[in-house]
Amino acid sequence: KAEASSDSDEKPDDDDDDDSGLTEEEVVLAKTIAESPETEHSVQKAALVLRLREGIGSLGRILKTIENFKGIITHVESRPSKKEGLQFEVLVKIDMNRQSLLQLIRNLRQSSALDGVTLLADNSVSIKDPWFPRHASDLDNCNHLMTKYEPDLDMSHPGFADKEYRARRKVIAEIAFAYKYGDPMPNIPYTETENETWSRVFNTVLDLVPKHACIEYQRVFKKLQEERIFESHRIPQLQEISDFLKRNTGFTLRPAAGLLTARDFLSSLAFRVFQSTQYVRHINSPYHTPEPDCIHELLGHMPLLADPSFAQFSQEIGLASLGASDEEIEKLSTIYWFTIEFGLCKEGPEVKAYGAGLLSAYGELLHALSDKCEHRPFDPSTTALQKYQDQEYQPIYYVAESFEDAKEKFRRWVATMSRPFEVRYNPHTQRVEVLDSV
């Protein structure tokens, strides 16, 4: 049985205000996209006013983000701002498809370099009907990258000074961008160096797993070894892993070019699809990577996605994200962070790790299970509000009673979200069905 439906019935708080986090113009945009699928990919002219909080230097990154969303910049104009604390206002004219535009705006709103983004458009109608993927093939449009941690842009990235590494990353990223739903998973012939990097991490994981990983992880890990998918001397290909997951829980993979926006990343989970990077961290820093790489995804995430209970929990986080407001996406990301990435769970009297960020990184795993940090019981309503950072070890970890218990608590919390509709995944059609509840 591979079906997920949130079985909550009524929702108490339904004042029909604009809780979607969109301005009126964006609502219009979302509406035209929703109503006419053929406009979804058609190019439109848009103008954005960006309010830069930092100097004009941050504009480069922002323009790069626009290009990552496949926007063609036709005009840029800047002026010093009169408002205190804001340094510049920048008018950017862009040609891009409507759907990417909406996602771009959402992405820009998450940027700490910006104090705000305004879309200049004409008339306005108030209706909320945000675009989100309805079918697994719509994930072809959910591959927007965050510009954080790219080796080309980030001077502290271990690969920043290595031209050859950056070129390799580019090749692998292009392959991911070219991927379309239904294609076979691209095969990457990994180099000796890349396999060596994998091998080092794999061997540390082998040491730690028996003592510190939860039983579900250990079980699947063993199976992956028996099927010769997990071997110390070579990086497994996405296709083998995807086939393995499919046999076990119906999860499949898609190649991702890098760190995706939370919205895009979470939405794929709704379809039991995990967007996995395919490049390998730099050999000079085998035990730490500032961004997800395939070693993290494969060693950290894959085993548990083959566990039925965990797979269900993951999918439900994804389903909750569809059509959620930006604030809710932030909360869901936080829950994702403290469970799927850094979660701990009880096993009898002991505490074990199940988070992928712990199981693929030996230093933090030992830290998380030491007395140098705090353990709190997992509770979605408080966990969702916990601040976190990805630069240092976490000071706080959340402990789940079990995956089933985490899922039950999560379901109850999702029922308090503001979304005016329910979603249900139909595994036969790979389609998300939307049930209006108002």
Give how many residues touch Fe ion by CB under 5 A. Answer: 2
For residue 296, indicate whether it is catalytic.
Answer: yes
The one among 111, 333, 360, 394 contacting ligand HBI by CB under 6 A? 333
Decide whether 131 or 198 has the Cβ nearer to Fe ion: 198
Q: Which residues have a Cβ under 8 Å from the Cβ of 51 and sit 6 or more positions away?
A: 81, 83, 86, 88, 89, 90, 114, 115, 116, 117, 118
Give yes or no for residue 147 binding ligand HBI (CB under 6 A).
Answer: no
Residue 125 burial (CB count, 10 A): 9
In order, the DSSP letters of 288-341 are --SS--HHIIIIIIHHHHTSHHHHHHHHHHHHHHTT--HHHHHHHHHHHIIIII
Q: Record the tokens describing residue 223, joined without a space.
A: 């199976």
**Which residue's entry shows tokens 């992880």?**
217
Give yes or no for residue 356 binding Fe ion (CB under 5 A).
Answer: yes
Which of these is catalytic: 144, 212, 282, 296?
296
Among 380, 400, 402, 384, smallest CA distance to 309 is for 402
Quick check: 407 and 313 in contact, CB under 8 A? yes
Min dist CB 191 to ligand HBI, Å, is 21
Give yes or no for residue 311 binding ligand HBI (CB under 6 A).
Answer: no
Min dist CB 96 to Fe ion, Å, is 29
For residue 301, indicate whether it is catalytic.
Answer: yes
CA atoms within 13 Å, Cβ hemisphere of 193 = 10
Give yes or no for residue 292 binding ligand HBI (CB under 6 A).
Answer: yes
Give yes or no for residue 400 binding ligand HBI (CB under 6 A).
Answer: no
Decide whether 52 or 306 has the Cβ nearer to ligand HBI: 306
Quick check: 70 and 43 in contact, CB under 8 A? no
For residue 360, indicate whether it is catalytic.
Answer: yes
Decide whether 121 or 175 has the Cβ nearer to ligand HBI: 175
Min dist CB 415 to ligand HBI, Å, is 21
For residue 144, indicate whether it is catalytic.
Answer: no
CA atoms within 13 Å, Cβ hemisphere of 309 = 12
> Looking only at residues 249 through 268 of this chain, which bind ligand HBI when binding is defined by CB under 6 A?
256, 259-260, 262, 265-266
Decide whether 52 or 343 has the Cβ nearer to ligand HBI: 343
Which of these is catalytic: 6, 100, 111, 360?
360
312 binds, among Fe ion, ligand HBI, none (CB under 5 to 8 A by kind): none
Give yes or no for residue 275 binding ligand HBI (CB under 6 A).
Answer: yes
Q: Mutual orientation of helices 308-321 and 326-336 as an angle, nearest 10°?
A: 160
- The alpha carbon of 40 is separated from its chain's Cα centroid by a whole number of angstroms, namely 22
Which of these is catalytic: 144, 157, 212, 301?
301
Decide whether 66 or 356 has the Cβ nearer to Fe ion: 356
Site string for Fe ion, 247-286 (x = CB under 5 A): ----------------------------------------
Min dist CB 360 to Fe ion, Å, is 8
* Count of positions (residues) in the chain: 438
Min dist CB 89 to ligand HBI, Å, is 29
Count Cβ atoms within 10 A of the Cβ of residue 2 and give its class: 0-12 exposed, 13-18 middle, 19 or more buried: middle
Count Cβ atoms within 10 A of the Cβ of residue 217 and give its class: 0-12 exposed, 13-18 middle, 19 or more buried: buried
> Looking only at residues 353 through 382 of this chain, which bind ligand HBI when binding is defined by CB under 6 A?
none
Q: Please give the residue whose beta carbon sits closest to Fe ion in the complex.
A: 356
Residue 90 phi/psi, 5° resolution? -125, 130
Min dist CB 149 to ligand HBI, Å, is 11
Q: Record the tokens describing residue 250, joined without a space.
A: 């119906």
Which of these is catalytic: 150, 341, 364, 422?
341
Q: Among all residues, which ones are annotated catalytic?
A: 296, 301, 341, 360
- Interacting residues with Fe ion (CB under 5 A): 292, 356
Residues near ligand HBI (CB under 6 A): 256, 259-260, 262, 265-266, 275, 277, 292, 333, 336-337
